[in-house]
Amino acid sequence: MSTVLHTRLAEARAAGRAALIGYLPAGFPDVESSIRVVEAMVEGGCDVIEVGLPYSDPTMDGPTIQRAADRALAAGTTPREVLRVVEATAATGAAALVMSYWNPIDRYGVHRFAADLAAAGGSGVITPDLLPEEAGDWVAATDAAGLDRIFLVAPSSTDERLRLTTDACRGFVYAASLMGVTGTRAQVADTAEKLVTRTRAATAGSGLPICVGLGISTGAQAAEVAGYADGVIAGAGFCQRVLDAPDLPTALAAVRGFAEELAAGVRSAG
Amino acid sequence: MTTARPESGHPDAGGHYGRYGGRFSPEALVAALDEVAAEWEKAKGDPAFQAELRELLSSYTGRPSPLTEARNFSRHAGGARILLKREDLNHTGSHKINNVLGQALLTRRMGKTRVIAETGAGQHGVATATACALLGLECVVYMGEEDTRRQALNVARMRMLGAEVVPVTIGSRTLKDAVNEAFRDWVANVEHTHYLLGTVAGPHPFPAMVRDLHYVIGAEAREQVLELTGRLPDAVAACVGGGSNAIGIFAAFIPDSEVRLYGFEAGGDGVETGRHAASITGGSPGVFQGARTYVLQDEYGQTVPSHSISAGLDYPAVGPEHAWLADTGRATYRAVTDADAMEAFRLLCRTEGIIPAIESSHALAGARAVGAELGPDATILVNLSGRGDKDVDTAARYFGLVGDAAAKGDQA
């Protein structure tokens, strides 16, 4: 079973660079505009898009993404709109993932969600508050639908948990660069490279790609992380540019420019 | 005084109560949750830890808390014999201190120096600030901005005790958002910080650990009722928000299958209006803040804001063990409206000279209904989980006892 995600990650690897993964909540600032923003992210150089399913209680997110998700919810975004944004993302050629807290998927119906996402052209799902121990149904559902499932590892993960979690992943593993929530940071945490090295050791043999997220918000930071990771994930930086823009054309230009900066970064790594 | 509870087989090693509970948390917190679980297991079997906790519970909290027979209130409860477990007389004014002292000692045992907590009404925040002052721990309390206004007195109290109170200005600005913010803090500062969660909710091991620490309520009450009446009560009544005082008093009676257990949720304006905080009565199973349990949620799994006159019950979910007790039928959960709770509040003040917390008034209102059903031969044990000093402002407004309206209110 291969997904568009596998293809995009393999292409980046073949080109000798890390992949660029951008996050945006579906429906932010509204459904149609979020599709335009995603298109600008892809035009700017994103290989993969994480389409966020906005949730009322995002415990892993800092204020920027919380505000973006609140706007999306206020605009009436439901899973139906999320799947529409996934469809539009897939149409750009980029790999489309969904990033969702567990309850909305649980509520939608685990198997139904997996099937509907696959039908919309999605490659897989990132679940920040689902641990492999609680993911029995989810593993079955994503296997049945041919979807990738991406769990997280963190600097605090033990070696045993790195093995457990990466064994449960397909597509890539999301390495949280630091102990904290989403949001831009002045520097890449020094915990990131060490975690990637430890995760690499845990995945020896499988070759599971390792993508790093949390706090990456400049081209230089992207270049630094691209020096040791298979993919670089950025989210709050995109949301902030949309929040700051007075209108959609300004937002699109700023988002495209930010994606270009990050794309140049992942290509300049030593 | 008992602080240990017998093994019931629940939860399982993963923190599950049947289909409920478990651990739905970011991977970054798993190491800390495992550490808390392992240290708590060790502390439970450590005579020195247990002795220190027992000493604090007796000389600092004032345990055992008395059992008071409410002979006058009984006339408003179908004539049933009403026995009040007086957690309101504990130091800091509620049952919350039982859990807080245990977890504060555990914090020190783990070598951590900073404690964070969430609070709604402020009772858990005050108890946490108190224990941190006593044990020399840094204390930060997250409180929804809306609640800092409703409970200004408790904000001042926490600050006097040396705690930093952080108003949460995101989301619905109430208890659930304070919990979210505490989890965010914990992820970033977990190396030296313990999250002193105030109820039997959240990811494993919190529901089991907090239950263990409140087990003392039911263990004492069971002995006191037996001594006073020569038999077990017919029913036990407690209010349920997250459900810590209820689990504390239920746990000792769960093996006594003849004792009926009643949890009274906050019915707000009435469950049918949608403006309530009755997660079991008016919610549905889902995953919220770390556990599978009953949640107030819409068709898409988004949390629906809760409503209750009582800030301490104003929470859109419930501890997973209650979800399991409800599904298995061992305990019965009903909703009590704001109006019925306030009527019970007024009655206890006037008939017994005890001002109850509005939270606990839900249990009193529930006991009135159960008393009417079971009749005058029945004995009902009610957990009076907190005192109403913090609610005087809310109650005075509710009954029109402020300013010019005072004289009229006096007729109420």
What integer is the mean pLDDT of A165-193? Answer: 94
Q: With contacts defined as CB-CB under 8 Å, which chain A residues touch B33?
A: none
Cα separation, B306 vs B294, whole angstroms: 13
Residues B397 and B237: their CA atoms lie apart, in Å, by: 27
Confidence (pTM)? 0.96
pLDDT of res. B406:
54
Average confidence (pLDDT) over A25-48 = 98
Residue in B with minimal Cα distance to A56: B302
Q: What is the CA radius of gyration of chain A?
A: 17
Is B7 designated active site? no
Residue found by looking up tokens 């007796």 in the block? B58
**Least Cα separation, residue A46 to chain B (angstroms):** 26
Residue A20 pairs in a beta bridge with A232
Token representation of residue A33: 């505009």
Give the active site residue among A47, A61, A81, A230. Answer: A61
| CA torsion through residues A228, A234, A237, A238, sign | positive
CB burial class (10 A; 0-12, 13-18, 19+) of residue B407? exposed
In which element (H, E) is residue B351 found? helix B338-352
Do the beta carbons of residue B165 and residue B148 sit within 8 Å? yes
Q: Which residues of B touch A180 (CB under 8 A)?
A: 184, 187-188
- What was the pLDDT predicted at B151? 86
- Picking from A105, A114, A99, the residue whose alpha carbon sits closest to that of residue A145 is A114
Tell if the CB–CB gap between B303 and A57 is shorter than 8 Å: yes
Size of interface A-B (CB pairs under 8 A): 107
Place of tokens 């002795």: B51
The residue annotated as part of the active site, out of B39, B87, B118, B181, is: B118
The pLDDT, as a whole number, for residue B289 is: 97
Which H or E element spans position B186? helix B175-189
Tell me the C-alpha distance between B156 and B80, whole Å: 40
B405 pLDDT band, cuts 50/70/90, is low
- Measured in angstroms, the CA of A119 and the nearest CA of chain B are apart by 19
Q: In whole angstroms, what is the distance from residue A73 CA to residue A25 CA?
A: 10
Of B25, B299, B301, the CB nearest to A129: B25
Of the listed ranges A5-19, A183-197, B60-74, B280-294, the one predicted with least confidence: A183-197
Beta strands in A100-183 (DSSP E): 124-126, 148-150, 152-153, 173-176
Q: Which of B85, B96, B112, B176 is catalytic?
A: B96
For residues B204 and B22, is the Cβ–Cβ distance under 8 A? yes
Which among B27, B188, B286 is the nearest to A107, CB-wise?
B286
State the alpha helices, DSSP H only, in B230-337.
244-251, 279-282, 320-328
Chain A residue numbers touching B184 (CB-CB < 8 A): 59-60, 62, 180-181
Using pLDDT thresholds of 50, 70 and 90, give the confidence band for residue A2: confident
pLDDT digits (tens, 9 = 90+) for B14-72: 999 999 999 999 999 999 999 999 999 999 999 999 999 999 999 999 999 999 999 99
Q: Which residue of B23, B32, B303 is in closest CB contact with A56?
A: B303
In angstroms, rounded to a whole number, what is the distance separating the alpha carbons of residues A75 and B370?
45
User: Which token pair is B353?
Assistant: 């000279």
- Label residue A8 left, alpha or beta by phi (over 0 means left) and psi (-120 to 50 means alpha): alpha
**Residue written as token pair 């606990």:** B360
Q: Is the pLDDT of residue A14 over 50?
A: yes
The CA distance from A80 to the nearest CA of chain B, in Å, is 10
User: Where does the pLDDT of residue B5 fall: very low under 50, low under 70, confident under 90, or very high at 90 and above?
Assistant: low
Give the end-to-end CA distance of chain B in Å, rounded to a whole number: 41
Coil, strand or helix: which one is B387?
strand
Q: Which residue in A39, A43, A47, A50 is the catalytic one?
A: A50
Q: Which of A179, A185, A210 to mutate to test the interface with B (most CBs of B within 10 A)?
A: A179
Residues of chain B found within 8 Å of residue A179, distances taken between Cβ atoms: 28, 187-188, 190-191
Residue A269 scores a pLDDT above 80: no
Residue A130 in tokens = 């689902």
CA angle (A196 as vertex; B191, A270 as ends), nearest 5: 130
As a whole number of angstroms, the distance between CA B105 and CA B100 comes to: 8
When CB atoms are compared, the residue of B22, B26, B32 closest to A152 is B26
Strand, helix or coil for residue B141: strand
Bridge partners of B115, per DSSP, are: B139, B194
Signed CA dihedral, A190, A203, A159, A170: sign only: positive
Element (H, E) at B188: helix B175-189
Phi-psi region of A39 (alpha: psi -120 to 50; beta: other; left: phi over 0): alpha
DSSP per residue over B76-137, as a string? TTTT-EEEEEEGGGSTTSBTHHHHHHHHHHHHHHTT--EEEEEESSSHHHHHHHHHHHHHT-
pLDDT digits (tens, 9 = 90+) for A202-232: 998 899 999 999 999 999 999 999 999 999 9
The residues near A241 (Cβ < 8 Å, ≥ 6 apart) are A251, A254, A255, A258
Residues B69 and B228: beta-carbon distance below 8 Å: yes
Q: With 70 as the cut, is the pLDDT of residue B105 above it?
A: yes
- Put residue B9 in one of left, alpha, beta given phi > 0 → left and psi -120 to 50 → alpha: left
- Cβ pair B20, B13 in contact under 8 A: no
- For Cα atoms B220, B226, B232, give the angle at the middle one, nearest 5 degrees: 100
CA distance B77 to B74: 5
CATH class name, domain A4-149+230-268: alpha beta
A193 is catalytic: no
Name which residue leads in pLDDT, B231 or B121: B231
Contacts of A79 in chain B (CB under 8 A): 300
ipTM: 0.96
Interface contact flag, A134 B24, Cβ < 8 Å? yes
Cis peptide before B26 (omega within 30 of 0): no
The DSSP symbol for B356 reads B
Cβ of residue B315 closer than 8 Å to a chain A Cβ: no
> Which residues from chain B sit within 8 angstroms of residue A133, using beta carbons?
14, 22-23
Residues of B in contact with A62 (CB under 8 A): 184
Q: Which of B74, B244, B306, B385 is catalytic?
A: B385
Q: What is the pLDDT of residue B170?
A: 86
How confident is the model over A225-248, as a mean pLDDT? 98
The nearest alpha carbon in chain A to B203 belongs to A129
Residues of B within 8 A of A165 (CB-CB) are: 27
Half-sphere exposure (Cβ direction) of A159: Cα atoms closer than 13 Å: 6
Chain segment A98-157, per-residue pLDDT in tens: 999 999 999 999 999 999 999 999 999 999 999 999 999 999 999 999 999 999 999 999
Q: Is B79 left (phi over 0), alpha (psi -120 to 50) or beta?
A: left
Among chain A, residues having any CB pair with chain B shorter than 8 Å are: 55-60, 62-63, 66, 70, 73, 78-79, 102-108, 128-131, 133-134, 151-158, 161, 165, 176, 179-181
For the stretch B304-358, pLDDT in tens is 999 999 989 999 999 999 999 999 999 999 999 999 999 999 999 999 999 999 9
Contact at CB, A66 and B303, closer than 8 angstroms = no
Domains detected in chain B = 64-93+215-410 (3.40.50.1100)
Name the residue facing A181 among B14, B184, B286 (closest C-beta). B184
φ and ψ of B62, to 5 deg: 95, 25
Q: Decide if B324 contacts A139 (C-beta within 8 A).
A: no
β-pairing verdict for B67-69 and B81-86 = antiparallel
- Whole-angstrom distance, CA of residue B307 vs CA of residue B275: 5
| Residues of chain B with C-beta less than 8 angstroms from the C-beta of A129 | 24-26, 287
- The stretch B226-245 carries a mean pLDDT of 98
SS3 B19: coil
Residue with tokens 């898409």: B300
Contact B301 A107 (CB under 8 A): yes
Residue B194, SS3 per DSSP = strand
C-alpha torsion angle, residues A173, A175, A176, A178 (rounded to 10): 170
